[in-house]
Structure 1
Amino acid sequence: MELSSNITEIIACCILIFTSLLGNAILIYGTWRCITRRLPTSFALIFSLAFAHVLKNIVVNAINIIFSVGFPPNPVICKIRIFTASMTTKLEIWFTLYIAIFYCVKLHRVIHPLRAPPNSKWRKHHLLAVFALWVTSISVCCPYLVFVHDMQSLTSFNDSYTVHHSFLYEDCDVRFPDAITDLCYHQIFMVVTDLLPIVVLLFVCGRILLLFREHNQATYGNIWIGHDASETEVLRASKVIVFLMHIVTALWVAHFVIVRSIAHVNLWYWMSTLLIVLFSGYASISPYLLMLINYRISLQIRSLSSFCCKKSNMNKSPSGGQKAIPDSSPAED
């Protein structure tokens, strides 16, 4: 049973890594091809979220595979794992909230147009905010690189542990020398910095749903004149954000509840596998939904897929011709 559980964890990690790397690589490539002169705000947010997904799967799930193979937990590796896991989780939640607020404001402008054009300096502020979020997440999680428990006591304890033991969530955990620091920082502060943005994200998505209701009422009242391609993109992106909100909230809450009660549910052999799926599921699912946010990214991905299909057909039939793929030059956001 123990061997079957470890194999299941390895298979789950490999699937999550492959799915996330494939989706985020396509997302980053399609987004990069759409950049013409400068980096739009929406693209900067997508890049940041995609890089956080890739970092989580490459580092955290790779360490999970190393431990599942049979290598004993190492304090240095545990520090890297807990730091990367906490940092990337916060970045995922924060940037998802940022994208939701960004498109909520744009949706409000679509339904209630401004009389004056928007300030172009906001783009610089957004880029500074993206950089600040990265610096803040690294700074907040730095104590995990300093404090870690003594592995020898747990290793000797696990030798006589007859029940299936989740070393990924118990052995590879932090122990602060001061109980007050552990309570205030690890148990309260780190949870609040994840939970509070999720609560705000729920309110933002609720505001998006109310704006959609106003949009439908304006349409049925023959007040709505119509919308162009950019407005269609905002409407589609807002719908995707609502789906992302449900996914990230459900996965985070389920993972948090199981981790907090892991001492009571540790009898289940595949509990570690479930925790791995809940922890990295958002990093593997969201890239495929983020491809739908911007219509230019969707066009680039379709062009890439059609190019790959035509190239494979050319390899099968050398005499066949290949049409040139039109290069789109999209306008900036």
Structure 2
Amino acid sequence: MELSSNNTEIIACCILIFSSLLGNAILIYCTWRCITRRLPTSFVLIFSLAFAHVLKNIVVNTINIIFSAGFPPNSLICKIRIFTASMTTKLEIWFTLYMAIFYCVKLQRVIHPLRAPPNGKWRKHHLITVFALWVIGIFVCCPYLVFVHNVQSLASYNGTYPVHHSFLYDDCDVRFTDAITDLYYHQIFMVVTDLLPIVVLFFVCGRILLLFHEQSRATYGNIWIGHDASETEVLRASKVIVILMHIVTALWVAHFVIVMTIKDVNVWYWRSTLLVVLFSGYASISPYLLMLINYRISLQIRSLSSFCCNNTKTNKPSSGGQKSTSIPESSPAED
């Protein structure tokens, strides 16, 4: 039995939702378990990315499934979809950039230590900035809910679409009544607010790679390289950030190119499924990489895995006392 493009899109959405919810649930749980006294800045960034990922998959991909199952497009649902899709995409890129800058500065301090201790008041500024990014992301995308008047082709829906038709990218293609607003806001401003942070992220990761090059050439001298847990975490987190940069850039560029040429690629059988995978791929992959950043989160994940494995062995008698997993209380300087 041959699957239609709508069925493959539904299967892809279900897999992406399950992968994202599982990864982000484990990430949020294990990160929360690692909090001892106060909330570190790196954990705030991880929580923000995780919540943006979950929101994107629950809202956007659920709407994808509803429309792909054959329900006619609705103007309000289309507006909610494009608002949520735009907001979560921007927040994903912005928080990834913020995390890259955060660990680039920490890597700079590891390789070129400061003579004076860092200012502890920076943590408050980080929390304010993260909150401001959420507010700005919502505010920037609000015109999709307020000022969008037309949803293209809704009136022409008759339930007889070709196999390669995409409800979400053809019938939910929102347009502003004012052509100038549509051009400068929808097609220029919204693209620039995604593309510019990606370009900055590219240069920040280039700086991280240069710092790694300095580290590899350093032996003894003016550059001091430590080996404690906090410095090891910074080195590992910086490597993860570089990988995340390649993933988010490749997925965003590929999705943007296909959307811009959607009229020319309408003959592709897997077009709708490919767009869904490119759009939600980062939200489904990145949680499993973010688990590697903090060493305490890694220990929590190992403890959770061993706990689940021990529960499956119910036929074995208990051996007196249970061995507890010791997680270091010390935490690297976060600000």
Structure 1 residues 73, 140: CA separation in 2 closer, same or farther (over 3 Å shift)?
same
Q: CA RMSD in A?
A: 2.0
Spell out, residue by residue over 1:181-226, the C-alpha distance to the aligned partner (whole angstroms, 9 max, x if none). 0000000000000000000000000000000011111138796553
Distance 1:19 1:142 in 2: 29
Q: Does 1:228 align with 2:228?
A: yes
Question: How far 1:105 moved relative to its partner?
Answer: 0.1
Spell out, residue by residue over 1:223-262, the C-alpha distance to the aligned partner (whole angstroms, 9 max, x if none). 6553211101100000000000000000000000000000
Aligned to 2:44: 44
SS of residue matched to 2:154: helix
Distance 2:95 2:20 in 1: 17
Structure 1 residues 153, 295: CA separation in 2 closer, same or farther (over 3 Å shift)?
closer
Superposition pairs for residues 9-24 of structure 1, below 5 Å?
A: 9-24=9-24
Structure 1 residues 95, 147: CA separation in 2 closer, same or farther (over 3 Å shift)?
same
Report the more deviating stretch, 321-330 or 255-264: 321-330
Q: TM-score, normalised by structure 1?
A: 0.94
Distance 1:250 1:158 in 2: 36
Structure 1 residues 2, 185: CA separation in 2 closer, same or farther (over 3 Å shift)?
farther
Distance 1:157 1:308 in 2: 50
Distance 2:292 2:254 in 1: 26
Aligned to 2:29: 29
SS of residue matched to 1:325: coil
Aligned to 2:264: 264
Structure 1 residues 135, 222: CA separation in 2 closer, same or farther (over 3 Å shift)?
closer
Report the more deviating stretch, 190-199 or 143-152: 143-152
Aligned to 2:327: 328
Question: How far 1:328 moved relative to its partner?
Answer: 2.1
Aligned to 1:189: 189
Aligned to 2:130: 130
Aligned to 2:86: 86
Report the more deviating stretch, 176-185 or 154-163: 154-163
Report the more deviating stretch, 142-151 or 30-39: 142-151
Aligned to 1:299: 299
Structure 1 residues 20, 160: CA separation in 2 closer, same or farther (over 3 Å shift)?
closer
Structure 1 residues 29, 222: CA separation in 2 closer, same or farther (over 3 Å shift)?
same
Structure 1 residues 153, 168: CA separation in 2 closer, same or farther (over 3 Å shift)?
closer
Structure 2 runs not aligned, ≥5 long: none
Q: Does 1:203 align with 2:236?
A: no
Question: Is the 8 Å Cα contact of residues 48 and 95 (structure 2) preserved in structure 1?
Answer: yes
Question: Is the 8 Å Cα contact of residues 53 and 284 (structure 1) preserved in structure 2?
Answer: yes
Task: Give the residue type in structure 2 aligned to 1:264.
Answer: D
SS of residue matched to 1:175: strand
Spell out, residue by residue over 1:69-113, the C-alpha distance to the aligned partner (whole angstroms, 9 max, x if none). 111110111111000000000000000000000000000000100
Question: How far 1:269 moved relative to its partner?
Answer: 2.0
Spell out, residue by residue over 1:287-319, the C-alpha distance to the aligned partner (whole angstroms, 9 max, x if none). 000000010100001000001111111x34466
Superposition pairs for residues 231-242 of structure 1, below 5 Å?
A: 231-242=231-242
Task: Give the residue type in structure 1 aligned to 2:322.
Answer: K
Distance 1:160 1:148 in 2: 26
Structure 1 residues 153, 232: CA separation in 2 closer, same or farther (over 3 Å shift)?
closer
Report the more deviating stretch, 91-100 or 317-326: 317-326
Number of residue pairs aligned between Structure 1 and Structure 2: 332
Question: How far 1:8 moved relative to its partner?
Answer: 0.2
Aligned to 1:156: 156
Distance 1:186 1:331 in 2: 47
Distance 2:294 2:182 in 1: 43
Question: Is the 8 Å Cα contact of residues 150 and 174 (structure 2) preserved in structure 1?
Answer: no
Aligned to 1:63: 63
Spell out, residue by residue over 1:102-161, the C-alpha distance to the aligned partner (whole angstroms, 9 max, x if none). 000000000100000000000000000000000000000000112345458434266565
Superposition pairs for residues 87-106 of structure 1, below 5 Å?
A: 87-106=87-106
Structure 1 residues 152, 239: CA separation in 2 closer, same or farther (over 3 Å shift)?
closer
Task: Give the residue type in structure 1 aligned to 2:281.
Answer: G
Aligned to 1:73: 73
Aligned to 2:5: 5
Distance 1:248 1:3 in 2: 29
Task: Give the residue type in structure 2 aligned to 1:270.
Answer: W
Distance 2:183 2:114 in 1: 48
Report the more deviating stretch, 192-201 or 220-229: 220-229
Task: Give the residue type in structure 2 aligned to 1:328.
Answer: I
Question: How far 1:34 moved relative to its partner?
Answer: 0.5
Structure 1 residues 51, 162: CA separation in 2 closer, same or farther (over 3 Å shift)?
closer
Distance 1:300 1:222 in 2: 36
Structure 1 runs not aligned, ≥5 long: none
Q: TM-score, normalised by structure 2?
A: 0.94
Structure 1 residues 21, 195: CA separation in 2 closer, same or farther (over 3 Å shift)?
same
Structure 1 residues 222, 112: CA separation in 2 closer, same or farther (over 3 Å shift)?
closer
SS of residue matched to 2:31: helix
Percent identity (aligned) = 82
| More helix by percentage | 1
